Amino acid sequence: MKDFGNIKELFDQITEYWSPKIIAEVNDDYIKIAKLKGDFVWHTHEHEDEMFYIVKGHLEIQLEAEIIHLNQGEYYVVKKGIRHSPLAKQECWVLLIEKKETLHTGDVITEHSKTIEDQLK
């Protein structure tokens, strides 16, 4: 794991939507970046919080009770146990902060699911 990175250059290397890449390791968390477009699977991280920070674009985080609208420079922490589904109507770049053991599709396995090994590539 490299200690240094340039976010723009790292995003430029991403060619697949919904495929998070781990860019840093900080204590028990991984810092990841992902390009999102379209909808995703509803899922829950039973024991882990997950932070979304919008680097570019707009993201809707659908919760069961409301929809959180995030623009560039805005962030939201999905607290552990909260069922959610991100929706990007246009391409969106996000930085994610998650526990190392967090699976990005949570308790659901779908065609979107990437292993931690995939995310470290």
Residue ranges binding a second copy (CB under 8 A): 3-8, 23-29, 31, 48-51, 53, 68, 73-79, 97-99
**Is the CB of 36 or the CB of 97 nearer to a second copy?**
97
d(CA 20, CA 94): 9
Q: Rounded to the nearest whole angstrom, what is the least distance from the CB of residue 40 to a second copy in the complex?
A: 19
Q: Rounded to the nearest whole angstrom, what is the least distance from the CB of residue 50 to a second copy in the complex?
A: 7
**Is the CB of 34 or the CB of 50 nearer to a second copy?**
50
**Is the CB of 61 or the CB of 88 nearer to a second copy?**
61
**Dihedral angle sign, alpha carbons of residues 117, 43, 111, 24:** negative
d(CA 48, CA 71): 24
Q: Rounded to the nearest whole angstrom, what is the least distance from the CB of residue 95 to a second copy in the complex?
A: 8
Question: What's the burial of 79, exposed, middle or buried (CB within 10 Å: 0-12/13-18/19+)?
Answer: exposed
Q: Rounded to the nearest whole angstrom, what is the least distance from the CB of residue 108 to a second copy in the complex?
A: 21
